[in-house]
């Protein structure tokens, strides 16, 4: 009888240790995917800050030409300031998604002004921002992959239980503005 009780106690102890090991493994996995999002965002943020530094220069050049399209320029300026005040990755990504839509709108507006497109300062700034946009696009893909993995992991069973206890929530993806998804029309 005594051996049976010792055997049950050992099995119970092994079961508890195994369960704790499983919970620690889940926790570590959730921490890893959460930190991957933060790392991916930090990589994007470096480029976004460079782009945000270039935007006032672009806006100043464009202002002289786009006298009646000031609403686009004002919206971009406000979002740029809002980005600087945002605290969380989710807040920043929402502002960045809006800013991307306004930048696409600005590009459409610029197409209506051939003399602006011919301006040397404008072309240089546009080239610089385009290069930054290309880099952001690459990092956006990595960020969205990290967000996807995180979102899947916090919704999978049994991770969902621990994720809810830790108050983890879904992250938003960085979006591509609808205007940029449309086919580019070449006229000859």
| Cα 5 → chain centroid | 56
3-state secondary structure of 15: helix
Say what the pLDDT of residue 63 is. 66
CATH fold of 33-180 = de novo design (two linked rop proteins) (1.20.1440)
pLDDT tens-digit series, residues 18-54? 999 999 999 999 999 999 998 998 888 888 888 777 7
Q: What does the block give as tokens for 90?
A: 């989710």
Q: What mean pLDDT, rounded, does the chain reach? A: 79
Contacts of 25 (CB under 8 A, 6+ apart): none
CA–CA separation, 46 and 40 (whole Å): 10
Q: Which long-range contacts (CB under 8 A, 24 or more apart) does 62-65 make?
A: 62/106, 62/110, 62/116, 62/122, 65/113, 65/115, 65/116, 65/119
- pLDDT at 126 exceeding the cut of 80: no
> H or E segment at 5?
helix 2-63
CB 81 within 8 A of CB 163: no
- pLDDT at 1 exceeding the cut of 50: yes
- pLDDT at 182 exceeding the cut of 60: no
Region 92-100 average pLDDT: 81
**Whole-model pTM?**
0.59
pLDDT tens-digit series, residues 137-165? 888 888 899 999 999 999 999 999 989 99
Say what the pLDDT of residue 26 is. 92
Say what the pLDDT of residue 164 is. 92
Confidence grade of residue 181 (pLDDT, cut at 50, 70, 90) = very low
Say what the pLDDT of residue 12 is. 92
Say what the pLDDT of residue 35 is. 92
């Amino acid at each position: 009888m005594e051996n049976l009780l010792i055997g049950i106690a050992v099995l119970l102890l092994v079961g508890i240790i195994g369960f704790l090991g499983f919970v620690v493994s889940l926790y570590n996995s959730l921490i890893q995917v959460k930190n991957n999002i933060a790392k991916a965002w930090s990589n994007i943020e470096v480029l976004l800050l460079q782009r945000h530094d270039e935007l006032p220069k672009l806006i100043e050049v464009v202002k002289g030409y786009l006298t009646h399209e000031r609403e686009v320029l004002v919206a971009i300026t406000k979002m740029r300031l809002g980005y600087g005040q945002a605290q969380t990755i989710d807040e920043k990504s929402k502002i960045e998604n809006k800013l991307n839509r306004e930048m696409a709108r600005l590009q459409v507006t610029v197409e209506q002004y051939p003399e602006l497109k011919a301006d040397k300062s404008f072309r240089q700034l546009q080239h610089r921002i385009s290069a930054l946009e290309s880099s952001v696009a690459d990092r956006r893909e990595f960020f969205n992959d990290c967000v996807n993995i995180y979102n899947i992991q916090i919704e999978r069973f049994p991770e969902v239980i621990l994720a809810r206890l830790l108050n983890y929530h879904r992250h938003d993806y960085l979006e591509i503005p609808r205007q940029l998804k449309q086919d580019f029309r070449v006229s000859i």
